[in-house]
Every structure is written in C-alpha cells, then in structure tokens.
Amino acid sequence: MTADLNENEVVYWVNSMKKECVGVGPMQCLQIQKGEDLEPGGWSLFYDNIAGFEYESGYIYRLIVREDEIPPEQRPADTSSIRYTLVSVLDKEPDTKLRLNDLWVLERVGGETLVLENERMRPRMELNLRDMAVMGFDGCNNYRGAIQRVDASELVFGPLASTRKACIDMRIPAQFGANLDLVRSYTIKGTQLSLNDGEGRELLGFQKTD
C-alpha cells in the first residue's frame, strides 16, 4: 500500500542486519533503501541516526522518515546537513532469509543420499548474510565466494575461489562445485536446507549443524 506522505517525508526500508562501515571511525551502519519498492540487493549504507527509531536486528522495516535541512550555522562540523526523524513505522516483518545464516553439512547430491567412507571428506558450507559471503569445504579444498542475490526464496552465488589441493577422488568436489554454480533458489524445512536449480529441483541438500 502506498504511503501517504507530507512535505519532506520519505519512505525508508531498513535491512535486518547492520554492516561494518567507517565514518569518523569503525562503526555499524544501517542498510537502507528509499522509495515505495524494495529492490533485492539495492541496499546502501546509512551513516546517520534516525531520531526516534529503535532498531532491532532480524527484521525488515518500512518507515516514514522526515528529512529536514539543517541551517549551516546550526550544523556541527563533519556532520550531515540533514536531520532524520522517524514519523511512523509502517511495517516490521521478520526476515525469513536469516535462517540461511548458519553452518550446513551436505547430506544429498541430486536428491541421492551422500554416503562417504571418510566423514572428514564430507562437504560443508557456511552462509554469512552480513558479509554476503559463502565459504566452506568441498570434500577436498576450502572455497570462498560471494552471495550475489538472496531473498525469501532466491539464492545465487558468484564465482568461487578455492585452494588447489589434489585429492585421489575428485568426483564429489567437482560435482559439488558445479551444482553450486546452478543454484537459483532454496527452501528450508526445519533443519534441512535444499539448494535448487531454476526449475526448483534439488541440487544439494544440507543438514544444519552447530
């Protein structure tokens, strides 16, 4: 529903996690978008404070914020020329994608249970949504890469970089890496994570681990 705005009022979206940034010194910044429509991956760092807004991580907010120009003679040095004040909270919804933000151990490949003689060779994955990063072990090498896009159901990884150790059997590492390239969506049921292709077919199935 379109917000009813008065003069100097703007719709703000606030992301469910802050992100490290550097202002006067290292700090944690809000991630925001402005406007009625929320764009996946469209977040920008917000270095100021919104007066009256009590932030709680884990939720996506839709706010009305008033932006008031501060006269130069009233503005301290090295501060913003805009004063941001919360008018109202339109929505506050739990961010369901944060369930991805965990450690996962591979149980299935292409829908088939993965049976290994040596459990130390079982691939695993860590998803870090704060840094938009994926990392882990493919059964032979450690890997790391970026999360390009993620929302309530979509998940797309960027190119992965890995160490270059050669193992006797590279079939599982090769299949694991190839399948990660094809991931376009995900589903979570309890402690089970399925990474799926563009048609919704499971490529890799994981169990959450502590």
pLDDT class of 23 with cuts at 50, 70, 90? confident
When comparing pLDDT for 11 and 2, which is higher? 11
Which alpha helices (H) appear in 64-198, and where do they start and end? 171-182
Unique residue bearing structure tokens 């008031």: 68
CATH of region 98-209, choose from 1.10.10.10, 2.40.128.270, 3.30.2270.10, 3.30.420.40: 2.40.128.270
In this model, does residue 179 exceed pLDDT 90? yes
State the pLDDT at residue 151. Answer: 87
Q: Kindly state the tokens that stand for 155.
A: 């998940």
Q: Is the pTM of this model over 0.85?
A: no
| pLDDT value of position 183 | 97
Q: 């088939």: which residue's tokens?
A: 112
Helices (runs of H) and strands (runs of E) counted in the chain: 1, 16
Beta-ladder partners of 147: 157
Q: Looking at the predicted structure, is the pLDDT value of residue 196 above 80?
A: yes
Instruction: Give the other-Cβ count within 10 Å of 37's Cβ.
Output: 8
- Tell how strand 82-94 and strand 50-51 pair up: parallel
What are the tens digits of pLDDT across the range 126-143?
Answer: 999 988 999 999 999 999
Q: Would you state the structure tokens that stand for residue 63, as one six-digit string?
A: 């706010």
Q: Domain coordinates of the chain in residue numbers?
A: 9-94, 98-209
Q: Which amino acid is at 143?
A: Y
